[in-house]
Amino acid sequence: MLCRLLAAPMRSSLLATRAPVVATRMYASAALNKKTPAEAQEILKEAEAVCFDVDSTVITKEGIDELAAYLKCGDEVAALTKAAMDGGMPFHEAIEKRLKIFGNAGFSQAKLAQMLADEPIEEAISPGLADLVAALQSKGKRVFLVSGGFRQMINPIAAILNVPETDIYANSFLFDSSGTFTGHDKDEPTSRAGGKAKVVATLKAKYGYKKVVMVGDGATDLEARLVEGGADAFIGYGAVAERAAVKADACWYLYDFKDMVAAL
């Protein structure tokens, strides 16, 4: 019987799989509809909620790559991560391939716990991010962590940022009763391309938000404003990983979270 380390939040339906050529068309559409930096800053001021990607945004690392390195399969997994974040591979395909590598490397619940104890992922929080989250919360804006990473690795980060676990939308590792790795929860919306957009749309429908901003570094973050009811503005963050297509189509692109604090 499968078990989770932590319960998952409410899930939304999954978007259809997108091939790389579809992602290219989505970028073209984004360029036509994107807001200016000034408009994005105004939306940020008015937004009731701000959604943050985690890997290479909230933290200075890619969590799944750090886990892969710990399991001694880092290079192969890192190449797949880059392909997914650059928009060159459907996200669900990249996640399946990476987790297959994990299984072959002997991944288990015990190894995950040991890795998190040996290399606390929360120590990699990006400069200025904690201050930004505190500033947003002080103005009554709700902060969500929306990630293609795994909640077991994100929970410690959320605790430091005072983001409740119910406001995390991410994937989940699955283990059996003996702690053997059995896969991931495929019903999580962020397990597929377009999932972050669906999360944003779900949050707006659930809470009645009029304005929601998405912040991140990758192709899956940019997607969050490409569906009806999705993010009203996308702010790209390039201090950790600069991706040309994302930079080109972001409403506002920055390298220092202090810029967002100043815009509030």
Please list the active-site residues.
53, 55
Helix-helix angle 109-118:63-70, to 10 degrees:
100
Question: Does residue 55 sit in helix, strand or coil?
Answer: helix
Nearest CA to 170 out of 152, 190, 184, 187 is that of: 190
What SS3 state is found at 62?
Answer: coil
User: Are the beta carbons of 9 and 102 closer than 8 angstroms?
Assistant: no
Q: What are the φ and ψ backbone dihedral angles of 96, each rounded to 5 degrees? A: -65, -45
For residue 28, give Cα distances in angstroms to 53, 54, 246: 22, 25, 11
Residues in the chain: 264
Which amino acid, one-letter code, is at 22?
Answer: V
Strand partners, 215: 52, 235
Give residues with Cβ within 8 angstroms of 82, minimum separation 6.
none
Q: Which residue has the tokens 């395909």?
A: 93
185, 171 contact by CB (below 8 A): yes
Beta-sheet strands, E only, within 192-256: 212-216, 233-237, 252-254
Residue type at 202 in one-letter notation: T
